[in-house]
Amino acid sequence: MAAAPPDDDWASQIRALLKSGNAQGAVDVAEKWMAAAPKDMDAVGWHGRALMRLGRLQEAEADFRRVLAASPNDSDALLGLAGILRRQNHLEDALELLRQAHSADPKREDVLLDEGRVLRALGRTREAREAFQEARRLAPDDADAREGIESVAEAPRQEFHVGTEIDLFNYTNDAGEFDTGLKTDWNARWITYFEVSYWDRFGGHAERNLGQVTFKPRPHMAITVGGTWNHDDGVIPRSEAFFELDRGGSFAGHHFVRGIEFNYHQQWYWFSTARVLTLTPSAIFYLPREWMFQIAVTSARSSFPGLAPGWQPSGQAKLTFPIRPRLTGNVFYAVGSEDFALTDQIGRFAARTWGAGFRRDFQRRQYLSAFGFFQDRSQERSQASFGITYGVRF
């Protein structure tokens, strides 16, 4: 009977198969190794790593826990189990395992890299930066360490933008709007935003002042509340109030939809005579190669003096896609009376809207975005709008 290959030969075969992308072949070799040496925990660990490549996370987790039961400070098993927990969004548990692995073997830059990624996902930027910098010290030429440091570099906390929009109608005079806004990231949990808009529309000159606060109680979740105080001049609402809940998540393994972000927005508009309430649930689907698909449905309750309140539905779909590095484009379609913030958008009319836009980022400090759309309304009315915004971070 031929002798079993040495452990190094088994491991070399598996490593070569994983490097070539043949994860199933690596699983097969690991299982042969396990059959030849049932008590060899190295075989079990390699089996777990190969299963991870296939997205078979529960089986891989069982392998890593088996290794750790025999050797609690095995840094490879700790790293593998932490990777599974990170993909399942159990970030605190993953961090605890990675710190245990770092204590067991302080010279492993791959452990520090994963620790930095988990800390970054938790919003603990300073600690993530320290982990990436330590990994870079251990491996000065490591591209992942360099990219990690860049990803958590001191980010600008303020963003200031100016923008303008031109509206062209086939049934009345043209209109225009100018806005300027300031967003401040106070820390990982609190964000404030203030905006002032000026409207020249239907012979009226209006001013809208908006303020909002966003709180992030945990990663991938945000709660926003805000309102406006306006000089309406019969063109825009006298005041508004709104709140928003945003919750996102990703999927473990390789899927066409990498993650979903759910949002619920509720807003009240008080006009001089009308009252409008809008309820807008929406979802963003994160697709491969940085594509995104967003769908939103709005139900609006309009109330006018002397008339019974009525509900109106509307909806929008938007596709965002990369064109080249730092340049993204989008196309969108909407049906219904989509924008209830203006006097010409409330009431009982139907509309279909087609539009497109782009955004160009200049490094991490500046960006330029633009859009255009055409709205075909009932009563043979139409609107074409174009807008552009320039922003700077500091």
- 7-151, superfamily in CATH? Tetratricopeptide repeat domain (1.25.40.10)
Q: What is the pLDDT of residues 294-312, one digit of tens each?
A: 999 999 998 888 778 888 8
**Residue found by looking up tokens 């603990």 in the block:** 124
- DSSP code of residue 6: P
pLDDT at position 4: 52
Residue 367, token pair as written in the block: 């960006």
Judge whether residue 222 has pLDDT over 50. yes
pLDDT at position 303: 87
Q: What is the pLDDT of residues 316-338, one digit of tens each?
A: 999 999 999 899 999 999 998 66
Domain residue extents for the chain:
7-151, 158-393
Three-state SS annotation for 178-234: EEEEEEEECCCCEEEEEEEEEEEECCEEEEEEEEEEEECCCCCEEEEEEEEEEECCC
Give the number of other Cβ atoms within 10 Å of residue 208's Cβ.
22
Judge whether residue 2 has pLDDT over 70. no
pLDDT tier for residue 154 given thresholds of 50, 70 and 90:
confident
Report field, pTM of the whole predicted structure over 0.75 = no
Judge whether residue 243 has pLDDT over 80. yes
Q: What is the pLDDT of residues 341-391, one digit of tens each?
A: 777 777 667 789 999 999 999 977 899 999 999 999 988 899 999 999 999
pLDDT at position 1: 37
Q: Is 309 exposed, middle or buried (0-12, 13-18, 19+ CB in 10 A)?
A: exposed
Pairing of strands 366-377, 327-335: unpaired
Q: Which of 1.20.120.340, 2.40.160.40, 3.30.300.30, 3.40.50.920 is the CATH number of 158-393?
A: 2.40.160.40
Cα dihedral: 76, 82, 86, 87 (round 10): 60
Q: Please state the rounded mean pLDDT for residues 176-190.
A: 95
pLDDT at position 238: 96
Q: What is the pLDDT of residues 3-39, one digit of tens each?
A: 456 666 888 999 999 989 999 999 999 999 999 898 9
Q: What is the mean pLDDT of the chain?
A: 92
Q: Please state the rounded mean pLDDT for residues 123-130.
A: 91
Which of 92-106, 151-165, 231-245 comes out lowest in average pLDDT?
Answer: 151-165
Contact 246, 263 (CB under 8 A): yes
For residues 156 and 158, give the distance between their C-alpha atoms in angstroms, rounded to a whole number.
6
Q: Alpha helix (H) ranges present in the chain?
A: 7-19, 23-36, 41-53, 57-70, 75-87, 91-104, 109-121, 125-138, 143-151
